[in-house]
Amino acid sequence: MPPKARTPGRTLTTQAPTRIDFAGGTLDLWPLYLFFPGSRTLNAAIDRMSRVRLESISEGYELISLDQDRTLSASTLQGLEGSDKLTLIATLVRHFAPGPGVRVITENDAPAGSGLGGSSSLAVALGAALAEWTGIEMEPDALIRKVCDLEAQVLHTPTGLQDYYAAVHGGTGLLHLEPGGVRHETLQEVSDWLGPRLVLCYTGAPHHSGLSNWEVYRRVVERDVNTCASMEEISGAAAEMESALRAADPERVAGALDREWKARKRLAPQISTDRIEAVIGCALSSGALAAKVCGAGGGGCVLILSAEGRTGEVSEALRGRGFEVLSFRLQDAGLECRWN
């Protein structure tokens, strides 16, 4: 029997955070982590949010993306199929199949192609909203699996897991990537000492994670020696990062961040760019201890760890070179859902 739809004369809103990643990215692609036993991925949710609002309308379906300034309307679910507009949103709406008469409004605070997991955060917020709207009960892990698979259908490429866990759970997260499944752990009392040391700089050039991730994925499966060696080093950097975060040791965090970035650059030539290197060079000469690109690389955002009390100096130096520094805070709360 299909789930009984709720009768919302009200509106439903959800929000989910995006994330910065510290170490172990790309290892969260199944089955890559199985080839590097002991793999883990560490990240932190930030308050660059994805927001979804569902409203009742008289008929049909209306999809509105405020940040993309795009709309898509159809009288039936089938009418949403095949459009090149708002493809991820339309795919989730068609999958959860709410009855006609719903308006979906979305907004994302992360710049497009920022490497902050914005599309995955949006998928979590939208998937949760649609499940609640249609009366489907979903545990967090089931929601993560569902929206991860749906996004992979849209992208036609393997999708990593870390973005979804950060969006659902918030906080500073540790993913234990193990045979039989992924185990999530929240590291406590990290934001107070780490948050004030972090700077996030948008390079102005969107990244394309699918391309970079697929190239690495293919080379690992084919057992390319250099790629596998780099992935082993990334796995080691992630283990070092876990230890440093647990010890609240910023110098060791900087060492792990630098180790991760150097290993990641060896994965593929397109991971770093002249602009990324310019951002990192400027930061390091202005009081930063270490820096790395967020996500798969090739553009997007650079995460910078500054020496104590020098984030303002680093930020001003970056702005002086014409780079965009993004305001953010570490976000302890994850997915939130509310009827209005």
166 and 38 co-located in one domain: yes
Q: Under 8 Å CB-to-CB from 308, ≥6 apart: which residues?
A: 197, 250
Average pLDDT value over all residues in the chain: 94
Q: For residue 290, what are its two tokens?
A: 């270490």
pLDDT in tens, 217-233: 889 999 999 999 999 99
Predicted local confidence at residue 207, as pLDDT: 63
Q: Under 8 Å CB-to-CB from 266, ≥6 apart: which residues?
A: 226, 230, 233
21 and 148 co-located in one domain: yes
Predicted local confidence at residue 270, as pLDDT: 85
Predicted local confidence at residue 257, as pLDDT: 98
Q: Which domain holds residue 240?
A: 191-326
Do 162 and 148 meet the contact criterion of CB atoms below 8 Å apart?
A: no
145 and 34 co-located in one domain: yes
115 and 215 co-located in one domain: no
34 and 116 co-located in one domain: yes
227 and 168 co-located in one domain: no
Is 2 contained in some domain?
no
Is 118 contained in some domain?
yes
200 and 142 co-located in one domain: no
Is 90 exceeded by the pLDDT of residue 158?
no
Q: Hey, CA dihedral for 239, 245, 247, 249, is it positive or negative? A: positive
Paired sense of beta strands 102-108 and 61-65, if any: parallel
pLDDT in tens, 162-197: 999 999 999 999 999 999 989 999 999 999 999 999
CA gap 161, 54 in Å, rounded: 26
78 and 108 co-located in one domain: yes
Predicted local confidence at residue 8, as pLDDT: 52
Tell me what the mean pLDDT of segment 13-24 comes to.
98
Is 80 exceeded by the pLDDT of residue 6?
no
34 and 138 co-located in one domain: yes
271 and 211 co-located in one domain: yes
Query: By CB neighbour count within 10 A (0-12 exposed, 13-18 middle, 19+ buried), where does 166 fall?
Result: buried
- Alpha-carbon distances of 260 from 95, 119, 243, 284, rounded to whole Å: 37, 24, 14, 16
Q: How large a percentage of the chain has pLDDT more than 70?
A: 96
- The distance between the two most distant Cα atoms of the chain, rounded to a whole number of Å, is 63
Min mean pLDDT across 4-13, 48-57, 321-330 is at 4-13
Is 80 exceeded by the pLDDT of residue 212?
no
Please provide the size of the chain in residues.
340
Is 50 exceeded by the pLDDT of residue 295?
yes
The pTM (predicted TM-score) of the whole model is 0.94
Is 5 contained in some domain?
no
Do 105 and 52 meet the contact criterion of CB atoms below 8 Å apart?
A: yes
Is 6 contained in some domain?
no
> Residue 286 is part of a domain; what is its CATH number?
3.30.70.890
User: What's the structural domain count of the chain?
Assistant: 2
Is 90 exceeded by the pLDDT of residue 205?
no
Is 50 exceeded by the pLDDT of residue 120?
yes
Predicted local confidence at residue 148, as pLDDT: 96
pLDDT in tens, 126-147: 999 999 999 999 999 999 999 9
Q: How large a percentage of the chain has pLDDT more than 90?
A: 86
Q: Tell me, letter by letter, the H, E, C secondary structure of the chain.
A: CCCCCCCCCCCEEEEEEEEEEEECCCCCCCCHHHHCCCCEEEEEEEEEEEEEEEEECCCCEEEEECCCCEEEEECCCHHHCCCCCCHHHHHHHHHHCCCCCEEEEEEECCCCCCCCCHHHHHHHHHHHHHHHHHCCCCCHHHHHHHHHHHHHHHHCCCCCCHHHHHHHHCCEEEEEEECCEEEEEEECCCHHHHHHHEEEEECCCCCCHHHHHHHHHHHHHCCCHHHHHHHHHHHHHHHHHHHHHHCCCHHHHHHHHHHHHHHHHCCCCCCCCHHHHHHHHHHHCCCEEEEEECCCCCCCEEEEEECCCCHHHHHHHHHHCCCEEECCCECCCCCEEEEC
Query: By CB neighbour count within 10 A (0-12 exposed, 13-18 middle, 19+ buried), where does 178 fall?
Result: middle
Q: For residue 26, what are its two tokens?
A: 């790309």
146 and 26 co-located in one domain: yes
CA gap 162, 146 in Å, rounded: 14
pLDDT in tens, 95-115: 999 999 999 999 999 998 899
Q: In which band, very low, low, confident or very high, does the pLDDT at 1 lie, cut at 50, 70 and 90?
A: very low
Do 256 and 240 meet the contact criterion of CB atoms below 8 Å apart?
A: yes
Higher pLDDT, 208 or 266: 266
Q: How far is CA 175 from the centre of its chain?
A: 14
Higher pLDDT, 204 or 17: 17
183 and 195 co-located in one domain: no
Give the other-Cβ count within 10 Å of 214's Cβ: 17
Is 4 contained in some domain?
no
